[in-house]
Structure 1
Amino acid sequence: MGNGNRNADGGTRTFPEHVDVAIVGSGPCGAAYARILSEQRPDLHVVTFEAGPLLADPPGGHVKNIADPDERARAQQRSQGPAPAPPDGRLARPGTFLLPDGHTAQGEDGLPNAAMSSNVGGMGAHWTAACPRPGGAERIDFVAGLDQLLDEAERLLDVDAHAFDDAPFAAEVRKRLAGALDGKRPQERGVQPMPLAVRRDPDGRLTWSGADVVFGEATRNNPRHTLAPEVLATRVLVEQGHAVGVLIHDLRDGATHEVRARRVVIAADALRTPQLLWASGIRPAALGRYLNDQPQVVFAVRLRDVAAGPGERTEGIARHSGVSWVPYTDEEPFHGQVMQLDASPVPLAEDDEPAPGTVVGLGWFCAKDVRAEDRVEFDDERDDAYGLPAMQIRYRLTARDHAAIEAARGAVRRAAEALGEPLDNEPRALALGASLHYQGTVRAGRENDGTSVCDADSQVWDVRGLYVAGNGVIPTATACNPTLTSVALAIAGARHIAGNLPAEGR
């Protein structure tokens, strides 16, 4: 990927003094900026900085594509930040690290399972790859051409809704779910296969999309794009209301460098993007506010009245056999992800091994009651493990949120009753933060009225040339997986840069 591949491992590194575009963060949204700029403006010099290490070749690949389990585990461990916190009873997923403290303020619900990843590809190296489209109130009505942007996001992510169509019992699962749940739903929001960022080869092998797929050959073959891993951006440089570069810290040798840029894109995540803006003295009223997670209800069942068909069980790990989608609607403001598994997520008798696809995990995600009071704050007197202002989450569930969670429990029960026999006593709500779908902290807005951080093109109000990217830009209360939407917004921002940045010297 330009000089980035040649400088990716070992040796003394040099950094450009000046580029056209500096991107901070190499997850799917940072990769989308690099891809669109490589396709539409190959004349521009672009650098992507990533605080975490390079895990795979091509850079940004999904860890599920690493065949060797020991190598995969090492890649996950290397993604867990500079000082991983002990779980302390919290949900710690491989490839992520929990916010060590500050996740819950006294007397509040907090986000005890708030987690991040630090690696080339970001959370895109570890995600479930679900790419449903938003519907109803999830959609952002002031973003022009949203459906075309979502189409383009599907191209960059290599989305396929039919990779698991022939999975054992997949059609039967969707038939039973539709009978129980579709009812008054619009046809386009009925039960259907889950769109997934995955490619299935003729031999049946699956390749899951990470940021490597979003970068694509256009970026990897672009000699004017550089990927620099293990480089921490510590400050956005601003002069006379315009972003003019970034201050970076080389985590390999400890050196600090100033890189001037005509445009700067901060594409970290919904916690670290506002953190970097805060550390840079860029503090609009809405920064860090409107934080929202998706409360999650889970259950598991075993299909009834099905005969075991052909198929091999995967030993030692519950893998997807088929994935179905129950879309969000305004009348039922939650989103269902129904995964058939090759093994049970709960212990079964040794002589009672399920056939592939007969154990079904149900996960319902609820749209949050979005409020300015829900926020991440930053402490100028205390640093985190990266030396940036430490975080404090302020977060509460409202009465409306509790009602939505109970309604989701009811929907999960109806789905479970239609499918088979429960493997748990009751659906349970996971601790907040478990969804990893944090949004809203650098939200886009229609106008600069203090309730948003950036405009519809993701350019920060009052700081020209500075763009933000990631799930934090999404301003609506969503229940669906947010990556497709956030990549669509990144595409809009990248197009804005491509169309408005004059060639050097003009």
Structure 2
Amino acid sequence: MSANRYPLEVDVAIVGSGPTSAAYARILSELAPEARIAMFEVGPSISNPPGAHVKNIGDPAARAAAQRASEGPGAGAATVNSPGEVKAGTRQARPGTFLLTEGYAADGEDGLPVAAMSSNVGGMGAHWTGACPRPGGAERIGFLDDLDALLAEAERLLGVTTQAFEQAPLPQKVRELLAAQVDQDRVAEYRVQPMPLAVHRRPEGQLVWSGADVVMGEATRNNENFTLFDNSLVRRVLTDGAAASGVELSDQLTGQQYQVAARCVVVGADALRTPQLLWASGIRPEALGRYLNDQAQVVFASRLRGVEASQGAGAPGAGLSEQSGVSWVPYTDEEPFHGQIMQLDASPVPLADDDPVVPGSIVGLGLFCAKDLSAQDRVEFDDQVPDFYGMPSMRIHYRLSEADHQVIERAKQQIVRLGHAVGDPLDERPFVMPPGSSLHYQGTTRMGTADDGTSVCSPDSEVWQVPGLFVAGNGVIPTATACNPTLTSVALAVRGARRIAEKLNNSLLMSKSDNRMSE
């Protein structure tokens, strides 16, 4: 044990290091500063500070190296670098992510052929688009009376702003054109508006993407009781009786196995690997892995009319061009899709094969569709066949229902209308991305109000029948959403972290009281 780089015991063990795991670390650092917290990430640290967005790395070679290091078992494989490759049906991951090599589609089903994951400190928060809209209508979780307050706290942790591009001329033009098409019958909160974004300015003034580093904040980084361990694969959640009691892990650098005792365990991997770890731990509630849902994604692109080269500016080596912007067409129950309208150089994902362009003049339109939820859409695990990490391999069962196809067709019609309203389309037909493209997988550890077989965890994200075990991430969201899920997931993490802090603080008070009585 002398070579053990891990503690023998902590108060809270956190599995994963993405935005929701970071939220647990941040809230616990603020509300329970005496708690000993250990965070375990299977992948390496790829940025400074840990968890920062890779698109903020100015040197192209260093940025590419960080992305390759995030690709886990897919490192070195070809990645999708243009929309032409996507439209050609190339089954490749985006830079910084990797795909399942098998089990992604059962015979006769749609599957999720491009379901992607990343393995790095910061999780997918090192690669995302930073969009943080609030859910609306049926997207909202009706049984959480404090949802709006939780969303506001999540906005604080993520550093969400709607003013990042307020001085830029082109985003306002895009919104005016979109508004003329869709705003007439909408109440104010559902009209076209700037997309709430997790972005921030560096001290020298450069606008850059935010990641899990921003969520952790100085409160976590300065917390002497918090330690982040990268290259650490948690293989099993340990239990003592029914309650969580720690984790069993493998040091990926040495291959040695260790156990770390914990009073509470938080599993915040992703919507595929969180249920995988629970399954591997023998924690198998009926709803585990079920209600899996992705957001069908329809894309289109147009060129703004009348934009002169003098209106543009060169794209930065890192961060965002401030001639660009991201606009939002909110979901409504009547139109069950969410619009993320991104100017070309405001996206970390390629949107158009068009070079050279005036920065900001190419507008990529994306409509994300809410899924028709079904318990039959699920990820299953095979104990007999290990995956690359030696965990039970995944098998995806996923179908688009007739209702899903109807919504997709409506979205295709709407995106063409929006594309023509914005400018001159680059293509006459919209393109439906392969299932899994949204990266917004949800539902596999869903929250509920009762242990009735349709949910995995309570409204506090505590797993039914396993006290002290909490789940985090997009998988906890129980509703069908079309909007980007990160803000909602962080909000749910806030609720769970507050519950843990309450437990720990009450225990500490009782311990101090017992000590005083014994004196």
Equivalence for 2:42:
51
Equivalence for 1:42:
33
Identity of aligned residues (%): 61
The separation in 1 between residues aligned to 2:142 and 2:233, in whole angstroms, is 35
Deviations 1:199-233 (A, max 9, x none): 13586511211111111101101111110000000
Equivalence for 2:222:
221
Equivalence for 1:310:
311
Q: Report the Cα offset of residue 317 of structure 1.
A: 10
* Counterpart amino acid of residue 166 in structure 1: Q
The separation in 2 between residues aligned to 1:318 and 1:326, in whole angstroms, is 24
Equivalence for 2:17:
26
Which is further off, 53-62 or 284-293? 53-62
CA contact (8 A) 2:294 2:442 kept: yes
Deviations 1:72-126 (A, max 9, x none): 1000000001355667921410100011110011100000001100000000011
* Counterpart amino acid of residue 323 in structure 1: V
Deviations 1:141-180 (A, max 9, x none): 1123111111110111111111012223211110110010
2:508 is the alignment partner of 1:503: yes
2:385 is the alignment partner of 1:382: yes
Q: Report the Cα offset of residue 315 of structure 1.
A: 8.3
Equivalence for 1:430:
433
The separation in 2 between residues aligned to 1:33 and 1:329, in whole angstroms, is 31
3-state SS of the aligned residue for 2:138? helix
**CA distance 1:183–1:341, shift in 2 (3 Å):** same
Aligned with residue 439 of structure 1, among 416, 435, 442: 442
The separation in 2 between residues aligned to 1:200 and 1:390, in whole angstroms, is 41
* Counterpart amino acid of residue 113 in structure 2: P
Equivalence for 1:6:
none
3-state SS of the aligned residue for 1:248? strand
Deviations 1:268-318 (A, max 9, x none): 000000000000000000000000000000000011244444332338999
CA contact (8 A) 1:318 1:342 kept: no
The separation in 2 between residues aligned to 1:233 and 1:505, in whole angstroms, is 31
**CA distance 1:469–1:305, shift in 2 (3 Å):** same
The separation in 2 between residues aligned to 1:214 and 1:54, in whole angstroms, is 16
CA contact (8 A) 1:444 1:473 kept: yes
Q: Which runs of structure 2 are paired with 1:302-451 in the superposition (5 Å)?
A: 302-314=303-315, 321-342=324-345, 345-348=351-354, 353-451=356-454
3-state SS of the aligned residue for 2:298? strand
Equivalence for 2:495:
492
* Counterpart amino acid of residue 330 in structure 1: D
Equivalence for 1:261:
262
The separation in 2 between residues aligned to 1:504 and 1:249, in whole angstroms, is 34
Deviations 1:241-272 (A, max 9, x none): 10000001111111111111000000000000
The separation in 1 between residues aligned to 2:284 and 2:334, in whole angstroms, is 36
Deviations 1:452-493 (A, max 9, x none): 000000000000000000000000000000000000000000
The separation in 2 between residues aligned to 1:385 and 1:267, in whole angstroms, is 20
CA contact (8 A) 1:313 1:342 kept: no
3-state SS of the aligned residue for 2:180? helix
What is the CA RMSD across the aligned residues, in angstroms?
2.0
The separation in 2 between residues aligned to 1:357 and 1:203, in whole angstroms, is 23
* Counterpart amino acid of residue 103 in structure 1: Y
The separation in 2 between residues aligned to 1:112 and 1:505, in whole angstroms, is 52
* Counterpart amino acid of residue 26 in structure 1: S
Q: Which runs of structure 2 are paired with 1:264-303 in the superposition (5 Å)?
A: 264-303=265-304
The separation in 1 between residues aligned to 2:334 and 2:465, in whole angstroms, is 38
3-state SS of the aligned residue for 1:169? helix
The separation in 2 between residues aligned to 1:453 and 1:77, in whole angstroms, is 34
Equivalence for 2:181:
180
Q: Which runs of structure 2 are paired with 1:243-254 in the superposition (5 Å)?
A: 243-254=244-255
The separation in 2 between residues aligned to 1:91 and 1:404, in whole angstroms, is 26
3-state SS of the aligned residue for 1:297? strand
**CA distance 1:441–1:336, shift in 2 (3 Å):** same
Q: Report the Cα offset of residue 12 of structure 1.
A: 5.5
Equivalence for 1:121:
122
CA contact (8 A) 1:168 1:322 kept: no
CA contact (8 A) 1:326 1:335 kept: yes
3-state SS of the aligned residue for 1:176? helix
- Runs of 5+ unmatched residues, structure 2: 80-88, 512-519
The separation in 2 between residues aligned to 1:207 and 1:315, in whole angstroms, is 10
CA contact (8 A) 2:208 2:320 kept: no
Equivalence for 2:97:
96
The separation in 2 between residues aligned to 1:451 and 1:340, in whole angstroms, is 40
3-state SS of the aligned residue for 2:73? coil
- Compute the TM-score of the two structures, normalised by the length of structure 2: 0.92
3-state SS of the aligned residue for 1:82? helix
* Counterpart amino acid of residue 65 in structure 1: N
